[in-house]
């Protein structure tokens, strides 16, 4: 089931982040290429790489995470995330894209939200549970 999440969600996340002292400005590196990636994602991290014939439409990196949004031959999207500290991975079908360059992927009560500047993880019961500045990205539009 595809779920649409309104832009007010992004505003709420940003407001919550500021309220608890998290701030972010533009990241320093937003190039067309990211080291150790190709058209399917990260070369050395299978958990952050699109499946065999699928292409990455968005790739992002933080100090703690690798993120890839992939597209299938049937024009369906899926999100893949990898936590660098322990190699934990997640794959979520049908993430939602909202212009300009904002992606949302929901797994139960947990929402993963990212754009070219920041990556948030929030839970509907407790609010923001993680925040990471995006260091590099490809396929995200500056807005």
For 6-29, write each residue's pLDDT tens digit. Answer: 333 444 444 444 333 333 333 333
User: Is the pLDDT at 86 greater than 90, yes or no?
Assistant: yes
Q: What CA–CA distance (Å, rounded) separates 4 from 138? A: 23
Residue 16 maps to a domain: yes
pLDDT given at position 139: 87
Structure tokens at 40: 């399917």
Q: Specify the pTM.
A: 0.76
Residue-averaged pLDDT of the chain: 81
> CA nearest 120: which of 22, 29, 21?
22
pLDDT given at position 100: 78
Residue 11 maps to a domain: yes
Q: What is the pLDDT of residues 95-133, one digit of tens each?
A: 999 977 899 999 999 999 999 999 999 999 999 999 999
Lowest model confidence (mean pLDDT) among 5-14, 60-69, 130-139: 5-14
pLDDT given at position 79: 98
Residue 1 maps to a domain: no
Residue span of the structural domain in which 66 resides: 7-138
Q: CB neighbours of 120 closer than 8 A, spacing ≥ 6?
A: 13, 17, 111, 112, 113, 114, 128, 130, 131
pLDDT band at 33 (very low <50, low <70, confident <90, very high): low
The domain tally of the chain equals 1
Percent pLDDT > 90 in the chain is 68
Residue 143 maps to a domain: no
Strand order in the sheet with 102-107: 96-98, 102-107, 110-114, 118-123, 127-133
DSSP 49: B
pLDDT given at position 101: 85
**71 and 54 in contact (C-beta within 8 Å)?**
yes
Q: CB neighbours of 39 closer than 8 A, spacing ≥ 6?
A: 55, 56
Residue 2 maps to a domain: no
């Amino acid at each position: 089931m595809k779920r649409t999440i309104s832009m007010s969600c992004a505003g709420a996340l940003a407001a919550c982040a500021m309220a608890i002292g998290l701030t972010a400005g533009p990241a320093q590196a937003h190039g067309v290429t990211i080291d150790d990636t190709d058209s399917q994602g990260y070369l050395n991290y299978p958990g952050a790489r699109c499946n065999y014939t699928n292409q990455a439409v968005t790739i992002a990196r933080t100090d703690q995470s690798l993120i890839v949004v992939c597209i299938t031959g049937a024009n369906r999207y899926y999100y893949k995330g990898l936590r660098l500290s322990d190699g934990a991975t997640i794959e979520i079908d049908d993430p939602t894209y909202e212009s300009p360059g904002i992606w949302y992927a929901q797994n139960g009560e947990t929402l993963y939200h990212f754009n070219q500047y920041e990556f948030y993880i929030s839970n509907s019961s407790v609010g923001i549970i993680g925040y990471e500045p995006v260091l590099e990205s490809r396929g995200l539009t500056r807005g």
